[in-house]
Amino acid sequence: MASSELQQSISELKQHRQAVILAHNYQRGEVQDIADFVGDSLGLSRQAARTDARVILFCGVHFMAETAKIICPDKLVLEPDRNAGCPLADMITERELEALKQEHPEAKVVCYVNSSASIKAMSDICCTSANAQKVVASFPPDQELIFVPDRNLGRYTAASLGRKLILGPGHCPTHEHITSRDIVGEKSKHPHAKVTVHPECTKEVIDLADHVGSTSQMLKYCQESGAEEFIIGTEIGILHRLRKENPGKVFYAASPLADCPDMKLTTLQKVIWALEDMVYEVTVAEEEASRARTAIERMLHLS
């Protein structure tokens, strides 16, 4: 079936199922193009919270669909591929977080949204890469804070605010594929290009950047900057949207290896199957969802 036919089928199925399609900035370009909303974790969380659709089809990875279900317990939330997970989210377990909490009994827990529902339920508040600094700054300077699971985002946030955080050991393999050597190499080939990178990158990469931000902040930076060339230090799926929204500018991937295999599991055909067969449903136990919802809503209130 041709791409245009797939798009038409999705449009008809979406209307028939009273569904809204949310897609992350790292999704395949053709998946972004058929979505009702494309954005980062914070933006998509907001869209999930305000949609009046009966069905939410989440094109991303599992923790994102899970978050949508927590925010919208009365909605049917579907994910096109049940295998679309997140290695970063898997790098903190309930047992590991409980050990950190016992070691630091006075600490509050700030949990990156790239985590499971069970970890969110054990946390005081969630954050995204777009609002991590605001969330951390909402606590008194003398409040001890545990930040899980991303050590790179946690380290960047701590340095930006000049405060100490107790960091989890997690990291995003896709972002750690981007090295300082990559940035230096691309900069030598494109000396006039501005470098914008995601805070999930390593400190060595961040130190070479002109701008650091979430995907939504990177999009805004590139749109508003007077520069004409940009080196993009995040998952390469965002290049589709950058080029689509800025046709007069040129974008280079910091590394072709920054390609998340989980994000790329979603295809147009899987979107059709999900809407035809109403699969795969995302569920979260109510007690866990209630506690996780509190942490998420605290974040959304701040944002």
Rounded to the nearest angstrom, the gap between the alpha carbon of residue 301 and the centroid of all alpha carbons in its chain is 19
> Each residue of 36-77: pLDDT tens digit?
999 998 789 889 889 999 999 999 999 999 999 999 999 999
In the chain, the domains with their CATH numbers are 3-85+263-283 (3.40.50.10800), 89-171+289-302 (3.40.50.10800), 178-253 (3.40.50.10800)
Cα(168)–Cα(14) distance, rounded to whole angstroms? Answer: 40
Strand partners, 195: 231
Alpha-carbon separation of residue 246 from 30, 43, 173 (angstroms)? 17, 20, 28
Contacts of 273 (CB under 8 A, 6+ apart): 80, 279
Tell me the pLDDT of the chain (303 aa) as tens digits: 568 899 999 999 999 999 999 999 999 999 999 999 999 987 898 898 899 999 999 999 999 999 999 999 999 999 999 999 999 999 999 999 999 999 999 999 999 999 999 999 999 999 999 999 999 999 999 999 999 999 999 999 999 999 999 999 999 999 999 999 999 999 999 999 999 999 999 999 999 999 999 999 999 999 999 999 999 999 999 999 999 999 999 999 999 999 999 999 999 999 999 999 999 999 999 999 999 999 999 999 987
The whole-number pLDDT of residue 1 equals 58
Q: CA nearest 61: which of 88, 34, 43, 92?
A: 88
pLDDT score, position 2: 60
In the block, residue with structure tokens 């997140």: 86
CB 194 within 8 A of CB 225: yes
Please give the pLDDT value at position 159: 98
Identify each DSSP E strand in 1-150 by its residue range: 19-24, 37-39, 55-59, 76-78, 108-112, 125-127, 145-148
Q: How far is CA 25 from the centre of its chain?
A: 8
Query: What 8-state DSSP symbol labels residue 109?
Result: E
Q: Give residue-wise pLDDT tens across range 270-294.
A: 999 999 999 999 999 999 999 999 9
Distance separating alpha carbons of residues 115 and 119, to the nearest angstrom: 6
- Partnered with residue 126 across adjacent β-strands are 111
Q: pLDDT value at position 43? A: 87
pTM attached to this predicted model: 0.96
pLDDT at res. 3: 80
Query: Is the distance from CB of 55 to CB of 75 less than 8 angstroms?
Result: yes
**Helix, strand, or coil (residue 295):** helix
Provide the CA 44 distance to its chain's centre, in angstroms: 9
